[in-house]
Amino acid sequence: MSKHDFESAITKLISLKNSFDVFLKNNASQDSFEKIESDTEFGKAVAEIFNENKDNPNAKNLDFQYKKLIQIANDIQHLKTVNDNTLPDWLEDELEAVFKKIKDLLAILEKELN
């Protein structure tokens, strides 16, 4: 049995993605972004996996992709703060790509660490 609950991590990732989706639809308040930006439940799961498997390149990549996700969210928040309604399509595409990479990495790590 794995030390990490990957099923729960995927559920937390989906919850985080849903928060981002609301945020992107302009229905988000500053509070909802702060929830995304702060230590999320998924972020805590990533930190646990990374801290216990620092030598694993996939764990390192998972940590990197999560940080990238937060940076993209910060970039989007900045554009929304300055009332720039021209959110580039590529930025939303990159956000989706990072979510997919993270989900794939969780599946790989589950196999590796079991």
Domain boundaries defined on the chain:
6-113
The mean pLDDT of 25-42, rounded to a whole number, is 60
The mean pLDDT of 52-65, rounded to a whole number, is 96
pLDDT of 68 higher than 50: yes
Taking alpha carbons only, the member of 34, 70, 52 closest to residue 113 is: 52
The mean pLDDT of 108-114, rounded to a whole number, is 91
Q: Which long-range contacts (CB under 8 A, 24 or more apart) does 57-61 make?
A: 58/105, 58/108, 58/109, 58/112, 59/109, 61/101, 61/105
Cα separation, 64 vs 79, whole angstroms = 23
Residue type, 97: A
pLDDT of 57:
98
Handedness of CA 43, 48, 52, 56 (dihedral sign): negative
